[in-house]
């Protein structure tokens, strides 16, 4: 399958932000998947995930969610990079993040005829938290959230935890965690699972006993090939069953 890859600009409220876009050649009417970055920006790993989704037959788009603070932000995985990425994470606002995701959805709808009712979202690290938040949007039919820390303790720029918004989730959500993750305890995973169950949300929680934070990223020392292979298959199943069947 021939994949087109390019940088585009999307409208997020009154702000224009860049995004990385990948899609099959001649894509029209395909489901859309919004890809949410780690704290390290829309870097090679996030672009690769976006490309892989496009190769599965989706229009995939990764908005630069740090653009208001640091246009074009993209760093490596060193300690200084992590500190800077966390600084910008702390400067985000939930309302702006959701507006960026809505802007990506509108872009896909206007330029490729992507059905509004067939939108997915996937996010990693801080993006995993943002993806859980994005799942509360009525447009989002399927969400894959990877090791999103802080879901049970805060909402970006606000006080009430994102977990409290679980009853607003209308689509399906799969969440992926490594049990060796120092940033997310087993208790927090249990709280997320309990909230989803109590709210009647269609969900699956995947726990990988030997995996740590960032296990899906092959650019990081914590990469776990076995966990990644299984998780990717589950992601493909989720998007196939929800975005292509309904």
Give me the catalytic one of 45, 213, 217, 224.
213
Inter-residue contact 38 to 217 (CB < 8 Å)? yes
Residue 121 among the catalytic residues: no
Can you tell me the distance from the alpha carbon of 169 to that of 100, in angstroms, rounded to the nearest whole number? 18
DSSP structure class, residue 29:
S
Can you tell me the distance from the alpha carbon of 227 to that of 245, in angstroms, rounded to the nearest whole number? 26
Can you tell me the distance from the alpha carbon of 136 to that of 148, in angstroms, rounded to the nearest whole number? 15
Inter-residue contact 180 to 192 (CB < 8 Å)? no
Where would I find the H helices in 34-185?
A: 44-55, 79-90, 94-112, 126-134
Give me the catalytic one of 181, 203, 217, 224.
181
The residues that bridge with 35 in the sheet, in sequence order, are: 122
Q: Count CB neighbours of 243 within 10 A.
A: 24
Residue 195: strand, helix, or coil? helix
Residue 213 among the catalytic residues: yes
Residue 163, C-beta contacts closer than 8 angstroms, at least 6 positions apart: 151, 152, 191, 192, 195
Residue 125 among the catalytic residues: yes
Structure tokens given for 31: 């489901």
Give me the catalytic one of 121, 125, 203, 217.
125
Inter-residue contact 112 to 30 (CB < 8 Å)? yes
The catalytic residue positions are 125, 181, 213
């Amino acid at each position: 399958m021939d994949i087109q890859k390019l940088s585009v600009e999307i409208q997020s409220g009154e702000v224009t932000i860049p995004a990385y876009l990948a899609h099959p050649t001649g894509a029209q009417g395909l489901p859309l998947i919004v890809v949410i970055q780690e704290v390290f920006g829309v870097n090679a790993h996030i672009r690769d995930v976006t490309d892989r989704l496009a190769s599965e037959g989706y229009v995939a788009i990764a908005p630069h969610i740090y653009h208001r603070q640091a246009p074009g932000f993209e760093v490596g995985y060193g300690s200084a990079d992590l500190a800077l990425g966390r600084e910008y994470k702390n400067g985000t606002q939930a309302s702006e993040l959701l507006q960026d995701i809505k802007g990506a959805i509108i872009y896909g709808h206007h330029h490729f005829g992507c059905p509004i009712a067939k939108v997915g979202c996937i996010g990693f690290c801080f993006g995993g938290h943002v993806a859980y938040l994005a799942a509360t949007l009525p447009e989002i039919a399927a969400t894959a959230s990877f090791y999103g820390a802080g879901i049970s303790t805060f909402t970006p720029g606000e006080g009430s935890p994102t977990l409290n918004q679980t009853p607003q989730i209308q689509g399906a959500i799969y969440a992926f965690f490594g049990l060796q993750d120092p940033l997310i305890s087993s208790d927090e995973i249990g709280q997320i699972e309990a909230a989803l169950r109590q709210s009647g949300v269609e969900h699956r929680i995947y726990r990988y006993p030997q995996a740590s934070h960032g296990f899906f990223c092959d650019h990081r020392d914590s990469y776990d090939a076995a966990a990644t292979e299984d998780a990717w298959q589950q992601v493909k199943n989720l998007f196939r069953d929800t975005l292509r069947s309904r």
